[in-house]
Amino acid sequence: MKRYERHREEALAAFPGHPQAAVPLRSPNFTRIAAQGFGDPHNAYAHTMAWFDNHLYVGTTRSNLCLIKARVPIPLSFWPVNCPQQIFDIDLRAHIWRYSPERGMDQRPCLPPDYEP
């Protein structure tokens, strides 16, 4: 059995009574709700997602590429995002974005408080 078929069988077994369980998802089944890091290219990676109280919450990690650039010398003439000389000059706190099917994406993410060691 091919790997895809095995995963499909496992997914179908998880939802035996669901009317669309036998129908695979395709591109038209999806809608883009945000692009380019929710408008901030330092939101580099959608790390977690959860559906709660009729909202989709998306947790992002920040400035992954700048952290890599600061730690691993990669000889690139072009870097995909602008990075400061001092890595801690940018906000590295994770963001949590909230999406509502009725209202769309919230403009302000949930942020952890500032931390001073």
Per-residue model confidence (pLDDT) at position 69 = 86
Q: Could you tell me which residues come within 8 angstroms of residue 96 by beta carbon, excluding any fewer than 6 positions away? A: 57, 58, 59, 60, 109, 110, 111
The mean pLDDT value for 68-87 works out to 83
Give pLDDT tens digits for 9-26: 666 666 666 665 567 778
Least confidently predicted of 9-23, 39-53, 95-109: 9-23
Phi, psi of 93 (to 5 degrees): -65, 140
The CA distance from 64 to 84, in Å, is 13
The pTM for the full model equals: 0.65
Quote the pLDDT of residue 24: 76
| In contact, 51 and 101? CB cutoff 8 Å | no
Q: What is the mean pLDDT of residues 34-39?
A: 81
Give the strand pairing for 43-52 and 95-100: unpaired
- Specify whether the CB–CB gap between 81 and 66 falls below 8 A: yes
